[in-house]
Amino acid sequence: MYVDADVVLHPRAIAAAVDLLRGTPLDLVSPWPRQLTAGVLGRLIQPLLAWSWLTTVPLRVAERSPRPSLAFANGQFLVLDADALARAGGWQAVRGEVLDDIALARAMRRAGARTAVADGAELATCRMYATGRELAVGYRKSLWAAFGSPLGAVAVGAALGVVYVVPAAAMLTGSWVGALGYGAAVLGRVSVARWCGDRGPAAVLDGLAHPLSVLALLGLLAWSWVGRLAGTLHWKGRPL
């Protein structure tokens, strides 16, 4: 079991997580903690962690598939089988990866293991960043690695803009098609928030601000790639 220092476990979290692992044919379970946010940037960006994959990869399909590309994990809270981890080469196999949690899940799948993400909102909470500045610096270090290459980042960024920003802008001009697109985006955000344990009115406000979230994410993505290409990013004492 691996737990980040900024994660707070509920009293029965460990027992419940182990029961989840042993009660299924899984070798790695990643219970997703409820994310606590601070400041405007935190509320805009942090909910996108879960949203980004919950809206693109069906959970049950990803869980049953042996494909490494469909493996996801959140290193904040991981429960795994020690033998399966050893067969995948352990953490040493992903020591050079920036997104080592996802890389570990994919390495384990390549070694024949089964992995899954689970709702951990009732088991743990996590506040990754205390300020917007901390969040921006943290994402700048690693966001470039999310899409593989500058071309991939541009393609994903363009798609996000077309799907989530353009409809909202069109709605402001009176377009009913834009309004439908914006409404679908809001519904998706609210649905993901409920899965993550955030069922209050703030989740609805976050959903309404989804186009702003996407714009903020695109700004951080561009900033991250500028640092990557300029050679100014460092991680664990080495340049990226």
Q: In sequence order, what DSSP letters do the residues of 164-222 get, joined into one string?
A: IIHHHHHHHTT-HHHHHHHHHHHHHHHHHHHHTT--SHHHHHHHHTHHHHHHHHHHHHH
Residue 64: per-residue pLDDT: 83
Element (H, E) at 23: none
Exposed (0-12), middle (13-18) or buried (19+): which is 6, by Cβ within 10 Å? middle
> What is the pLDDT at residue 190?
92
pLDDT tens-digit map of 12-52: 999 999 998 888 889 999 998 988 888 899 999 998 988 88
Going 126 to 206 to 46 to 131, the CA torsion angle's sign is negative
Task: Extract the residue ranges of the chain whose pLDDT is less than 70.
Answer: 235-240
pLDDT of residue 76: 92
pLDDT of res. 225: 94
Per-residue tokens: 58 = 């069906």
Q: What is the pLDDT of residue 146?
A: 85
Q: What is the pLDDT of residue 240?
A: 63
Distant-in-sequence, close-in-space partners of 179: CB < 8 Å, separation ≥ 6:
167, 171
Q: Choose among 7, 26, 30: nearest CA to 119.
A: 30
Residue 83, CA distances (Å) to 18, 26, 92, 108 in order: 15, 12, 15, 10
CA distances from 121 to 30, 33, 225 (A): 12, 5, 32
User: What is the greatest pairwise CA distance in the chain?
Assistant: 58
Residue 203, sorted as left (phi over 0), alpha (psi -120 to 50) or beta, turns out to be alpha
